[in-house]
Structure 1
Amino acid sequence: MQTVNLGILAHVDAGKTSLTERLLHATGVIDQLGSVDAGTTQTDTGEIERRRGITIRSAVAAFDIRNRQVNLLDTPGHSDFVAEVERALGVLDAAILVLSAVEGVQPHSRRIMRILRSLRLPTLIFVNKIDRVGARTDDLVADVRRLLTPAVVPLGTVRAPGTPGAAFRLYDPRDDGESAHRLAETLAEHDDEMLAALVNDLPPDPDQFDRALRVQAAAGQVHPLLFGSALSGAGIPELLDGIAALLPASPPAEPEPRARVFAVERDAAGERVAYLRSYGGQLRARQRVVAYRREPDGRITATRARITRLDVVGATTDQAEPTGRDQKTTELTAGYIARLAGLTGVRLGDQLGSPVGLDGRAHFPAPTLEVVVRPRDPARALALHAALLDIADADSFLQARVTPDGDTSVLLYGEVQREVLTATLAEAYGIETECGPGRLMHIERPTGVGTAVEIIGHGFFGTVGLRVEPGTGVDYRLEVELGSLPLSFHKAIEDATRAALDQGPHGWPVTDIRVTLTHSGYWSPITTAGHFRDLAPYVLMQALAQAGTRVFEPCRRFEAEVPADRLGAVTSCLARLGARIDGTDHVAAGWRIGGLLPVRFEPEAQRRLSDVSSGEGLWSSVPGGDRPMSGDPPCRPRTDGNPFDRTEYLRFLAQPRNRS
């Protein structure tokens, strides 16, 4: 049986989970439709998900259609949970992007579609809620072409949109020549034979049309668009036909074992369970495996683990089942997804069996909001820190850090994620907490070259010399002989150096840097690895102080649509806030302004846009990287004892909790 790993992605409230529920019902997996509002859906299983009515964790359900098993991944729609979408993207064969016929194309939808197109991931667009008052059809298709992709192929029309009787009807190229000709123009972009027919004013051949649509949709060159309603069931049969006919199956099995972790959760008994998609080989219960991970600095590390339990999603032990499915419940093979227990320490994005494909590429930016979390009962401070580390151990996007005053801070994407984290700590760990105001995360980059050497015998039982200079990511190199130190000492220096880069001269993480070990030495048998872990951060900061760093702030890439007579006033207002205007385009409603704006000014920009445009302006934005700050940069409180001051740093090391 073929498999298709299909992701459902959307802006929040577009109806992803309701669509998942409808597809499972239409294919006979469930007898009764669940409700998001009632908290009875198949994929939103967590108590917080049910209560809030939003998807927080990626969930998997399976159904069969035309001798295919479709593994359906329902991903979060809220932008605060893009880490879940990030990992799901790495295991998908195809996707459905869900839009609301009422709300239309929304900012998160645009960000997702941009990534899907860059990945050339075969994608169907499903416009949901055609039975809702205010539903749009033709002008929404125009918005999709303008804002998402020009390579959209609407496959039909809607009868009575915005009413309970709304229905979807497929085009028939044999009967609807005008529509077929319009769609053929899109397909002709990648089909020379069809282009020649159009040039010669020949009507599109229906068989040729179907063939071109299948080939181009499977290659991610065009995106078929269908309308429907997850609540009424309109358009669902046509969507299922599209899934079966237009989306490609999983590729053939790879020769070597490889499986990727895309979700981690705890089951009802508190046991850690990982979801994996297999690309090749077999995995079984009680098997010992090697898990590979690409660290944030680019290194690939490996750990060993043992599978204690394995359940294949959608599989059955009944080999005589009419569906013809031959997948066992206890053996994971290529194209399938399974829940595995026993993989202690495995995180999102890890791979079992092989490091192939661990490119470390991130489609979404890292979180930029740092929030201090405090227990309401001060006696639970250690328990809170342990709980946050446990949560962060499963989610590599969530980073926990002890603040100088002993509190714990975490990096988050936004307010909703903060509320969910607070609820999780209360319900899963029994710790009531409160969060301080969020602080935007900045980064530092070296501006020059700096060197520093600390010779053995001057307060440290080791010699370390480091040179720092601009680079890409975090690049650590050796300029000394590998045999000049025991390997454990080399590892201690490298690990301590990488960890120390979390706090540059201004307290922000340092990136795009090359660090070279230029000097090394030790006293045997006095020197230990711990001495090098203490010494390396001190030498690194001396070198960084000499090189100098510059602080960069996070930015948003924005688009503002304004009435024609407000263009000058809006661009002037944005410029005063520090925006970089990249261009303006004439649109039906007036003008669209695009550019880059520091995150800290976005709330003010939105307020002023509303005032200047008399409430008619529209604002949307996506993460836009960073840019250097002018003037005195903000500083972040240090937690490492200030290695820029020798006396203060040695006093910090002498404290009992910091001894090696």
Structure 2
Amino acid sequence: MASDISKIRNIGIIAHIDAGKTTVTERMLYLSGAKHRVGRVDHGTTDTDDDPEEQERGITIFSACVKYSWNAFNINLLDTPGHVDFTAEVERCLRVLDGAVVVFSAREGVEAQSETVWRQADRYSVPRIVFINKMDREGASFESVLNDIGPRLGGKPVPIEIPVGEGPSHVKDPFRGVIDLIDLKMLEFDPSTEGKEVREKEIPAELLDDAKLWREQMLEAVYDLSEEAALMAMEEKEVPREMIIAALRSGVIERKIQVLLCGSALHGIGVQPLMTAVGNFLPSPLDRPPVEGIDPKKPETTLIRKPDPSEPFCGLVFKILPAKTGDNYWIRVYSGVLKQNSRVQCPNRNKKENIAQIWQIHATKKDRDGQTDSVTAGDIACVIGPRFAITGDTVCDSSALIELPSINFAESVLSMAIEPESTADKKKLEEALDMLRRQDPTFHAQENEESGQTLISGMGELHLEVIQHRLTRDFGLNVKFYKPRVNYRETIGGSADVVGVCNRQMGATQMFARLSVKISPLDNPSAPVLVFDRLPPDAPISNTVRDAAMNELRERAAGGGLLAGFPLSGVKLEAYAAEVAEEGSDEIAFRIAAGDAFDRGLEEAGPVLLEPVMKVEVTTPDNYMGELVGDLQQRRAIIAGTESRGEMTVITAHAPLKEMFGYSGAVRSLSQGRAGSSMEPLGYQPAPKADADAFLM
């Protein structure tokens, strides 16, 4: 393991689906010498897409970690999925990364999932650099993508390279290299060596003026970042190369700018400068703020841990890969040293964990030659031995407890009923679902004892389809699968002021309680339910009775709404008055009164069924736009906007998930295979009355 923390780079490759993330990763491994042949996504031979499902579909489904060295830097690289159904994989990776490379296709530019991953990186304050890939594709446009990043993502890209030509070999001016704006040199990449041999040459005369103009724009950004460089410019002195790199590096780490490069990963053009840029511009663990957490015994106390081996150990579990020989726990070490055959504490579960083995990771497996005795602050490793921790949990030194912020994942939007074909498969199914739950935080499974069916939930059709294939192929189960259904929610349409009553005889005791509750909708219908104790301090009930009433309201809210028991959201409950009798006004009586108030309040306020809404982005040639817009409107979609991107038109719409089953196939059919679409969860809206009435029948 690396001992020099300043040379560690924990980076992720993030992008929209098909922008070329895995191809970039594969080329980096080859050029660094970590592998001897370049794998191809379309051949199913890449290191990071090693699952059969990924190889069949030609997409990344599971995040994968690879290690390589470049220019004395030790890189932990996480390749992430681009499909929105697997956005949890991006979420968990960004939570533990220090920097990211955002990949854009030079043809498609900033796409829907590009915006999603950019926002995720913003949420975790991850510095990033930009790589415009596929410069050799038909319709590639460097400036179009560059000009989109600011207005659409709120980014501030600073090109440190420009392309020489654009498009495939048959066009008039094809893409054939890059111009390095820092050194003002042209770089050509030898195709016979898969881009390993880079030739540096003087910039041709016909390109020199343009290159100098671009370099001046880069230097303007440098002057904004460095007073020393600005003073040198005012004195008409040449700004040294080292000062330019230092200024740009500070700008990237402080998230003021994103340096931008370009190339074609498939043909090895521009990838070596990108690898150098990762070391030069993205932060080491030492460049990031110390990690903050709370003291589990005193939650109001904030603790920090610096990326220093001398600090007490703490780390975060960000991925679990179930295995029969012992689950593989991927851990980012934030401080201290984690040693093999040691014991650590998991404060989230209040359990001690064994660290039996520590391994380096290669793709989604342990590196065959990578077992190690210890792993130090700033690094990422695979650990075997823990049993209780789950994704997002902290592991730390038991003598210096700290609980780091966990990882928040989006809620599932689609469910499917399944049931085993035979009793013999029932136990196997339970074990398989438990294994999948440990691996995937966005996958949920709940058994209905009355019907014998199990309801599995995920992030979309593709997510559930992958789960279905894993159960039948990987686990060899005979399982019946039913049609997917939408995960609705419930809220209320108005406000109500109600009094919940308990007035009943129980044995020899006459029980009595009255609880006045106001129920009202929140501005955001998908926000969590809020329960407030507004009872005056001199209310005639004890603290234990008061707590019992409040707990009953919270438990009833967590149990779902009145229509069909779907999760309740967007509701505020306020208990503000209570009445008691001389006898019989105990905890049980007030629990009954609180439950009665809850039911009355929901009924009087008017239950409302909420359906999930998706943000849909369709990219199509102009001549298919009419058919696609018409089809979206038939699906109850609202067209939010259209814009031209080169020869294509992008339609943005907001559509109910219920109407979007099988939509990707419909898009291909309506456009003769020339249009594409992507979806991501947007929020919730009231469902049609007919849908709500169906649950009342």
TM-score of Structure 1 vs Structure 2, range by shorter chain: 0.7 to 0.9
Of 281, 285, 288, which aligns to 2:336?
281
- Please tell me whether the aligned partners of residues 496 and 536 of structure 1 are also in contact (alpha carbons under 8 angstroms): no
Of 479, 500, 507, which aligns to 1:433?
479
- Please tell me whether the aligned partners of residues 469 and 515 of structure 1 are also in contact (alpha carbons under 8 angstroms): yes
Q: Secondary structure at the match of 1:634?
A: helix
Q: Distance in 2 between matches of 1:628 and 1:132?
A: 43
Q: Deviations over 1:273-307 (max 9, x none)?
A: 211112223433454444355xxxxxxxx331412
- Please tell me whether the aligned partners of residues 180 and 204 of structure 1 are also in contact (alpha carbons under 8 angstroms): no
- Please tell me whether the aligned partners of residues 75 and 84 of structure 1 are also in contact (alpha carbons under 8 angstroms): yes
Could you say which residue in structure 2 is the equivalent of 1:370?
A: 415
- Please tell me whether the aligned partners of residues 584 and 592 of structure 1 are also in contact (alpha carbons under 8 angstroms): yes
Q: Secondary structure at the match of 1:30?
A: coil
Q: Distance in 2 between matches of 1:36 and 1:612?
A: 27
Could you say which residue in structure 1 is the equivalent of 2:684?
A: 626
- Please tell me whether the aligned partners of residues 559 and 592 of structure 1 are also in contact (alpha carbons under 8 angstroms): yes
Could you say which residue in structure 1 is the equivalent of 2:360?
A: 313
Distance change >3 Å, CA 451–CA 571, structure 1 → 2: farther
Q: Distance in 2 between matches of 1:565 and 1:577?
A: 20
Could you say which residue in structure 1 is the equivalent of 2:314?
A: 258
Q: Secondary structure at the match of 1:216?
A: helix
Structure 1 residue 422, shift from structure 2 partner: 1.5
Q: Distance in 2 between matches of 1:464 and 1:338?
A: 57
Q: Secondary structure at the match of 1:445?
A: strand
Could you say which residue in structure 2 is the equivalent of 1:421?
A: 467
Q: Secondary structure at the match of 2:11?
A: strand
Structure 1 residue 113, shift from structure 2 partner: 2.1
Could you say which residue in structure 1 is the equivalent of 2:116?
A: 111
Q: Secondary structure at the match of 1:90?
A: helix
Could you say which residue in structure 1 is the equivalent of 2:559?
A: 500
Structure 1 residue 617, shift from structure 2 partner: 9.0
Q: Secondary structure at the match of 2:350?
A: strand
User: Counterpart amino acid of 1:113?
Assistant: W
2:92 is aligned with 1:87: yes
Could you say which residue in structure 2 is the equivalent of 1:473?
A: 528
Could you tell me which runs of 5 or more consecutive residues in structure 2 were left unpaired when the two chains were aligned.
Answer: 185-207, 291-304, 363-369, 536-540, 581-585
- Please tell me whether the aligned partners of residues 578 and 597 of structure 1 are also in contact (alpha carbons under 8 angstroms): yes
| 1:169-568 superposed matches below 5 A | 169-172=179-182, 176-185=211-220, 205=239, 207=241, 209-250=244-285, 251=288, 253-254=305-306, 257-267=313-323, 269-293=324-348, 302-313=349-360, 329-353=372-396, 356-358=403-405, 361-362=408-409, 365-377=410-422, 380-381=425-426, 383-403=428-448, 405-446=451-492, 447-448=494-495, 452=500, 469-470=519-520, 473-475=528-530, 483=544, 497=556, 500-501=559-560, 504-513=562-571, 541=599, 544-557=602-615
TM-score, normalised to structure 1's length?
0.75
- Please tell me whether the aligned partners of residues 558 and 567 of structure 2 are also in contact (alpha carbons under 8 angstroms): no
Q: Distance in 2 between matches of 1:51 and 1:350?
A: 33
- Please tell me whether the aligned partners of residues 152 and 186 of structure 1 are also in contact (alpha carbons under 8 angstroms): no
- Please tell me whether the aligned partners of residues 401 and 409 of structure 1 are also in contact (alpha carbons under 8 angstroms): yes
Q: Distance in 2 between matches of 1:465 and 1:274?
A: 51
Distance change >3 Å, CA 414–CA 584, structure 1 → 2: closer
Q: Deviations over 1:381-403 (max 9, x none)?
A: 45434532442244321121234
Distance change >3 Å, CA 445–CA 292, structure 1 → 2: farther
- Please tell me whether the aligned partners of residues 312 and 337 of structure 1 are also in contact (alpha carbons under 8 angstroms): no
Q: Secondary structure at the match of 1:313?
A: strand
Aligned length: 606
User: Counterpart amino acid of 2:13?
Assistant: I
2:28 is aligned with 1:23: yes
Structure 1 residue 180, shift from structure 2 partner: 1.1
Distance change >3 Å, CA 355–CA 568, structure 1 → 2: farther
Q: Distance in 1 between matches of 2:506 and 2:44?
A: 64
Could you say which residue in structure 1 is the equivalent of 2:195?
A: none
Distance change >3 Å, CA 391–CA 143, structure 1 → 2: same
2:168 is aligned with 1:162: yes
- Please tell me whether the aligned partners of residues 159 and 261 of structure 2 are also in contact (alpha carbons under 8 angstroms): yes
Could you say which residue in structure 2 is the equivalent of 1:96?
A: 101
Distance change >3 Å, CA 41–CA 98, structure 1 → 2: same
Could you tell me which runs of 5 or more consecutive residues in structure 1 were left unpaired when the two chains were aligned.
Answer: 294-301, 316-326, 522-526, 643-660
Structure 1 residue 575, shift from structure 2 partner: 7.7
Could you say which residue in structure 2 is the equivalent of 1:121?
A: 126
- Please tell me whether the aligned partners of residues 253 and 283 of structure 2 are also in contact (alpha carbons under 8 angstroms): yes
Q: Distance in 1 between matches of 2:384 and 2:599?
A: 42
Identical counterparts, % of pairs: 26
Q: Distance in 2 between matches of 1:273 and 1:540?
A: 45
Q: Deviations over 1:558-594 (max 9, x none)?
A: 5678999999999999788765666777987799776
- Please tell me whether the aligned partners of residues 453 and 464 of structure 1 are also in contact (alpha carbons under 8 angstroms): yes
Distance change >3 Å, CA 144–CA 452, structure 1 → 2: same
- Please tell me whether the aligned partners of residues 317 and 394 of structure 2 are also in contact (alpha carbons under 8 angstroms): yes
Distance change >3 Å, CA 234–CA 464, structure 1 → 2: farther
Structure 1 residue 182, shift from structure 2 partner: 2.8
Q: Secondary structure at the match of 1:307?
A: strand
Q: Secondary structure at the match of 2:283?
A: coil
Q: Deviations over 1:125-157 (max 9, x none)?
A: 223344556654444434445544551222223
- Please tell me whether the aligned partners of residues 553 and 598 of structure 2 are also in contact (alpha carbons under 8 angstroms): no
Q: Distance in 2 between matches of 1:610 and 1:580?
A: 20
Q: Distance in 2 between matches of 1:54 and 1:565?
A: 29
- Please tell me whether the aligned partners of residues 346 and 394 of structure 1 are also in contact (alpha carbons under 8 angstroms): no
Structure 1 residue 328, shift from structure 2 partner: 9.3
User: Counterpart amino acid of 2:569?
Assistant: T
Deviates more, 1:97-106 or 1:66-75: 97-106
Of 35, 42, 66, which aligns to 1:61?
66
Q: Distance in 2 between matches of 1:13 and 1:89?
A: 19
Structure 1 residue 241, shift from structure 2 partner: 1.0
Q: Deviations over 1:492-514 (max 9, x none)?
A: 9699546523x553332112445
Distance change >3 Å, CA 69–CA 283, structure 1 → 2: same
- Please tell me whether the aligned partners of residues 154 and 224 of structure 1 are also in contact (alpha carbons under 8 angstroms): yes
Distance change >3 Å, CA 622–CA 188, structure 1 → 2: farther
- Please tell me whether the aligned partners of residues 464 and 520 of structure 1 are also in contact (alpha carbons under 8 angstroms): yes
User: Counterpart amino acid of 2:282?
Assistant: L
- Please tell me whether the aligned partners of residues 347 and 393 of structure 1 are also in contact (alpha carbons under 8 angstroms): yes
Q: Secondary structure at the match of 1:260?
A: strand
Structure 1 residue 477, shift from structure 2 partner: 6.5
CA-atom RMSD, angstroms? 4.9
Q: Distance in 1 between matches of 2:142 and 2:134?
A: 11
Deviates more, 1:379-388 or 1:574-583: 574-583
- Please tell me whether the aligned partners of residues 9 and 279 of structure 2 are also in contact (alpha carbons under 8 angstroms): no
Deviates more, 1:104-113 or 1:133-142: 133-142
Deviates more, 1:258-267 or 1:13-22: 13-22
Q: Secondary structure at the match of 2:372?
A: coil
- Please tell me whether the aligned partners of residues 63 and 71 of structure 1 are also in contact (alpha carbons under 8 angstroms): yes
Q: Distance in 1 between matches of 2:439 and 2:230?
A: 51
TM-score, normalised to structure 2's length?
0.71
Could you say which residue in structure 2 is the equivalent of 1:71?
A: 76
Q: Deviations over 1:528-570 (max 9, x none)?
A: 99x9999998885565445543322222345678999999999
Q: Distance in 2 between matches of 1:505 and 1:277?
A: 44
